[in-house]
Amino acid sequence: MKLLITGTAGFIGSNLVRYLLNHVDDLQIISLDSLEYAGDKINLENIPGGIESDRHRFIHGSICDTNLIDEIATEGIDGIINLAAHTHVDRAYYHPGVFIKNNVEGVLNLLRATARFDIKRYLQISTDEVYGSTQPEHPFDEKAPLRPGNYYSSSKAAADLYIAAAINTDGIDAVIVRGTNNFGPYQFPEKVIPFFTRRIIDGETLPLYGHGQQMRDWLYVEDFCRAIWLVFTRGVCGEIYNAGAGNHTSNLELSKKLVKTLDADYGLIKHVADRPGHDFCYAVNSDKIRKLGWRPDADFDTKLTETVIWYRDNQEWVNSIMTKSSADPDDESFFEKHYRHRT
């Protein structure tokens, strides 16, 4: 089987490629990534067989590039798994247009190619954030209305609606998996776990948004990779599958766990002005994917400790990916503007 997988130089994409090459035989992957600030080929350097092998090929390019997608589709692919997206809620607040371009128009481009080239299956990686905020005891199932609360989640919700339209109008075979907050190695250090870990190591304060009681359901990235593959291979066309771990943890509690793991001082935690439109809690009901045969295996505390230790022991990776980001003048100004005022 030959698949186009997009967004593979990012966090979940690189973990997915590693997972698939380790666990699935007779699979050839064409990796596509436009190498935005959060995407870097170093995330793929240690995949089995290396970046260029008979099982894996990397192409630097965008899902928005119709000619490029057509060219890839012409060589014959059996499916598309789309992870390419801009993913940081805070950045979406400043640059919502970038999110519409990549997360919505890019998806539409892939959907139209799926129809034109009769590609057998399209899988979209979506998020629990499309349902908006709730309480852990009131999780949303897949039939819940879409009520996105920020400019990132609204772009993801829009993409999900385009998929429904493409199934209906073009008759493509498509499925969606909506995951909760992932954690694990290779996540760009603007997201809370690697960001706070880095700051604790550097002895800097942890800028915790608002009261810190907001809750997220933390899902270990390898568990999500298994969910993605299960939905791609066994999911029913047109269906949506939630994948959550049931590890609801407040941001304050998470910060304390990180401080404790690195044996630092709880005084590093500093409450700062809240994020605009900060959703209180995301929660999903995952019964449907569990019926398909999935359940998360990871113990949250064990994997969180391993993840923190990974970032601590991979400072070279952290420095390298951050250097690339600050090499871009736009990103440098973003870091200045966004993070300086928090400390």
d(CA 263, CA 266): 9
The yes or no reply on residue 149 touching ligand NAD (CB under 6 A) is no
CB of 267 to ligand NAD, least distance (A): 29
Residue selected from 6, 134, 286, 307 as contacting ligand NAD according to rule CB under 6 A = 6
Of 18-26, 177-185, 305-313, 316-324, the window that binds ligand NAD (rule: CB under 6 A) is 177-185
The yes or no reply on residue 39 touching ligand NAD (CB under 6 A) is yes
Residue selected from 19, 99, 151, 188 as contacting ligand NAD according to rule CB under 6 A = 188
d(CA 303, CA 287): 23
Residue selected from 21, 27, 59, 64 as contacting ligand NAD according to rule CB under 6 A = 64
Residue selected from 20, 31, 87, 255 as contacting ligand NAD according to rule CB under 6 A = 87
CB of 196 to ligand NAD, least distance (A): 15
Tokens of 305: 């400790």
- Looking at the DSSP bridge assignments, the partners of residue 219 are 182
Cβ-contact 13, 83 below 8 angstroms: yes
Cβ-contact 19, 300 below 8 angstroms: no
d(CA 235, CA 177): 9
Of 51-59, 179-187, 193-201, 259-267, the window that binds ligand NAD (rule: CB under 6 A) is 179-187
Of 79-87, 110-118, 246-254, 323-331, the window that binds ligand NAD (rule: CB under 6 A) is 79-87
Residue with tokens 């965008």: 62
Residue selected from 17, 19, 29, 36 as contacting ligand NAD according to rule CB under 6 A = 36
In 3-state terms, what secondary structure has residue 190?
coil
In order of 3, 53, 266, the CA distances from 253 in angstroms are: 40, 43, 11
The yes or no reply on residue 102 touching ligand NAD (CB under 6 A) is yes
Q: Which is nearer to ligand NAD, 192 or 268 (CB)?
A: 192
Residue selected from 31, 127, 249, 286 as contacting ligand NAD according to rule CB under 6 A = 127
d(CA 36, CA 121): 26
Catalytic residues: 128-129, 152
Tokens of 235: 């999911």
d(CA 115, CA 104): 17
Residue selected from 3, 13, 148, 228 as contacting ligand NAD according to rule CB under 6 A = 13
Of 61-69, 71-79, 111-119, 269-277, the window that binds ligand NAD (rule: CB under 6 A) is 61-69
Residue with tokens 């890839």: 72
The yes or no reply on residue 298 touching ligand NAD (CB under 6 A) is no
Residue with tokens 């519409």: 100
Q: Give the CB-nearest residue to ligand NAD.
A: 10
Tokens of 253: 């509690």
Cβ-contact 56, 21 below 8 angstroms: yes
Which residues of this protein are in contact with ligand NAD, per CB under 6 A? 6-7, 9-13, 32-36, 38-39, 62-64, 83-87, 102, 106, 125, 127, 156, 179, 181-182, 188
